[in-house]
Amino acid sequence: MALFWAELKRSWTEFIRYPAEAVGGVVIITIVFYGLFLSARYMAGPAIQFGDRLDIVVVGYVLWTLTLFTINDISLTLQAEAQTGTLEQIFLSPYGPFRVFLTRALAGLTIRITLISVILGILIGVTGSSLQFPPLLVLPLVSTLMAGYGLAFMMGSCALLFKRVQQLLGLFQFGLLFVLALPVETWSGPWSLVGWLLPMLPSAGLLRDL
């Protein structure tokens, strides 16, 4: 807990020191989604009604944004620590690197959840979506975050091995957007087994159902 509170204070200090970056991130993420939403509605025609699919798209996009925050928090932090020369200090600390970076990610998550809530509220307002939030939502959300942290540590390992992974992260982010948009809950036969084995897809499907 002492390590968590220290990392939470560190994350909050960095957040309030660069508020323009946080606000800019919220604005960009919202504009990108709204642009995609308007484009889809324009191509489908004025008489189209999205219905429940609009809610599914909003949930998928917010999940993608939350996962990106999770992955970037660990992988880019590892790369920055390596470039500034402080990575050795973390590896030599009594907590160990895994515990330090995991605690740092969890501390950052408390701030990211607030940003995600703001983004979700804006998306609901501009699209007219009618999402519900039952208490059972916590279970698949936690499993999604656990899978996201697993992928984040994998990308962090790549950052330590290859030093610069910005292009790899960009490719991974768009691939992740495609994967999270797949309606795995509607698959049947052998494809349903494939869907259950892919990371985060089962949890994303449960979140869309709820």
Question: Across residues 124-148, what is the average pLDDT?
Answer: 81
Give mean pLDDT, residues 189-193. 76
Confidence of residue 168 (pLDDT cuts 50, 70, 90): confident
**Mean of the per-residue pLDDT values for the chain?**
78
pLDDT of amino acid 42: 66
Distance of alpha carbon 195 from the chain centroid: 19
Confidence class of residue 43 from pLDDT cuts 50, 70 and 90? Answer: low
* 141 vs 159, more confident: 141
* Cα–Cα distance for residue pair 114/120, rounded to 1 Å: 10
* 141 contacts: CB under 8 Å, gap ≥ 6: 203, 207
Inform me whether the pLDDT recorded for 208 exceeds 70: yes
Q: Which of 69-83, 121-135, 160-174 has the weakest average pLDDT?
A: 160-174
pLDDT confidence of residue 91: 85
Whether 159 shows a pLDDT value over 60: the answer reads yes
pLDDT at 191: 75
Count of other CB atoms within 10 angstroms of residue 81: 21
Judge whether residue 195 has pLDDT over 70.
Answer: yes
What is the per-residue pLDDT across 84-114, written as a single tens digit (0 to 9) for each?
Answer: 778 888 888 888 888 888 888 888 888 888 8
Q: Quote the CA–CA distance of 148 and 70 in Å, as a whole number.
A: 6
Does position 136 have pLDDT exceeding 80, yes or no?
A: yes
pLDDT of residue 111: 82
Q: What share of the chain is helix, strand, coil (3-state, %, to 5)?
A: 85, 0, 15
Report pLDDT digits (tens) over 17-31. Answer: 877 777 787 788 888
Binning pLDDT at 50, 70 and 90, where does residue 165 land? low
The pLDDT score that the predictor gives to residue 44 is 62
pLDDT in tens, 47-76: 555 555 677 777 778 888 888 887 777 777
